[in-house]
Amino acid sequence: MAASSLRVQNLLGRLNVTQLAAPLLILMILSMMVLPLPAFVLDIFFTFNIAISVLVLLVAINTQKTLDFSVFPTVLLVTTLLRLSLNVASTRVVLIEGHTGPAAAGKVIEAFGHFLVGGNFAVGIVVFMILVIINFVVITKGAGRVAEVAARFALDAMPGKQMAIDADLNAGLIGEDEARQRRRDVARESEFYGSMDGASKFVRGDAIAGIVIMLINIVGGLFVGIFQHDMDFATAGTTYTLLTIGDGLVAQIPGLIISIAAGLVVTRVSDDRDVGQQVLGQMFLNPKALAITAAIIGTLGLIPGMPNLVFLLLASGLGYLAWRMGQRDLRLAAPPVKVAPTAVPEAVEASWGDVTPLDVLGLEVGYRLIPLVDKAQDGELLRRIRGIRKKFAQEVGFLVSPVHIRDNLELKPNAYRILLKGVEVGAGEAYAGQLLAINPGRVVGTLNGTPTVDPAFGLQAVWIDAAQRDKAQAYGYTVVDASTVVATHLNHLILTHAGELLGRQEVQQLLDHLAKDMPKLVEDLVPKVLPLGTLQKVLQNLLDEGVPIRDMRTIIETVADAASRTQNADELVAQVRNALGRAIIQQLFPGSGEMQVMSLDPALERLLTQAVAGGSDNTSFEPGLADTLVRETAAAAQRQESHGLPAVLLVPGSLRLLLSRFLRRSVPQLKVLAHNEVPENRIIKVTSVIGGKT
**The pLDDT of residue 674:** 94
Which run of H or of E encompasses 532? helix 532-544
CA distance 688 to 584: 21
CB 230 within 8 A of CB 167: no
DSSP output for 411-447: S-TTEEEEEETTEEEEEEE--TT-EEEE--S---S--
**The pLDDT of residue 161:** 67
Q: Write a three-state SS string for 254-308.
A: HHHHHHHHHHHHHHCCCCCCCHHHHHHHHHCCCHHHHHHHHHHHHHHHCCCCCCH
- Across 486-508, average pLDDT: 93
Bridge partners, 363 (sequence order): 405, 418
Q: Per-residue pLDDT tens for 521-532?
A: 888 888 788 888
**Which of 73-87, 231-245, 247-261, 607-621 is predicted least confidently?**
607-621
CB 646 within 8 A of CB 693: no
Task: Categorize the per-residue pLDDT at 402 as very low, low, confident or very high, splitting at 50, 70 and 90.
Answer: very high
| pLDDT reading at 596 higher than 70 | yes
More confident residue, 435 or 51: 435
**The pLDDT of residue 135:** 73
**The pLDDT of residue 275:** 57
- b/e per residue 115-132 (b: at least 16 CB within 10 A): ebbeeebeebbebbeebb
| pLDDT reading at 193 higher than 50 | yes
More confident residue, 274 or 206: 206
**The pLDDT of residue 396:** 93
Q: Per-residue pLDDT tens for 212-256?
A: 777 777 778 777 777 777 777 777 777 777 777 777 777 777 877
Alpha helices in 353-481 (DSSP H): 370-373, 380-396, 469-475
Q: What is the pTM of this model?
A: 0.52
Most confidently modeled range among 120-129, 140-149, 484-493: 484-493
- Across 208-215, average pLDDT: 75
Most confidently modeled range among 12-21, 139-148, 185-194, 438-447: 438-447
Q: Per-residue pLDDT tens for 309-332?
A: 777 888 788 788 878 877 776 766
Task: Categorize the per-residue pLDDT at 270 as very low, low, confident or very high, splitting at 50, 70 and 90.
Answer: low
More confident residue, 351 or 576: 576
CA distance 544 to 661: 10
Q: Per-residue pLDDT tens for 531-589?
A: 888 999 999 999 999 999 999 999 999 999 998 899 999 999 999 999 999 999 999 99
φ/ψ bin of 537: left (φ > 0), alpha (ψ from -120 to 50), beta (otherwise): alpha
CB 690 within 8 A of CB 649: yes
Q: Give the residue among 669, 666, 672 at the shortest CA–CA distance from 631.
A: 666
Look up residue 229 and give its amino acid: H
CA distances from 51 to 75, 85, 443 (A): 13, 16, 65
| pLDDT reading at 148 higher than 80 | no
CA distance 528 to 521: 11
**The pLDDT of residue 113:** 66
CA distance 18 to 530: 67
Residue 276 burial (10 A CB sphere; 0-12, 13-18, 19+):
exposed
Contacts of 51 (CB under 8 A, 6+ apart): none
CB 148 within 8 A of CB 277: no
HSE value, Cβ hemisphere, 13 Å, CA-based, for 207? 24
**The pLDDT of residue 536:** 93
**The pLDDT of residue 348:** 65
Contacts of 508 (CB under 8 A, 6+ apart): 532
More confident residue, 16 or 113: 113
CA distance 569 to 580: 16
DSSP output for 618-653: T----HHHHHHHHHHHHHHHHHHHHTT---EEEE-H
**The pLDDT of residue 623:** 79
**Which of 41-50, 190-199, 339-348, 497-506 is predicted least confidently?**
339-348
What mean pLDDT, rounded, does the chain reach? Answer: 80
CA distances from 610 to 235, 614, 615, 616 (A): 123, 8, 10, 11
CA distance 286 to 178: 37
Q: Per-residue pLDDT tens for 660-676?
A: 988 988 898 899 999 99
Task: Categorize the per-residue pLDDT at 343 as very low, low, confident or very high, splitting at 50, 70 and 90.
Answer: low
Task: Categorize the per-residue pLDDT at 694 as very low, low, confident or very high, splitting at 50, 70 and 90.
Answer: very low
**The pLDDT of residue 93:** 76
**The pLDDT of residue 257:** 80
- b/e per residue 1-40 (b: at least 16 CB within 10 A): eeeeeeeeeeeeeeeeeeeeeeeeeeeebeebeeeebebe
| pLDDT reading at 650 higher than 90 | yes
More confident residue, 111 or 579: 579
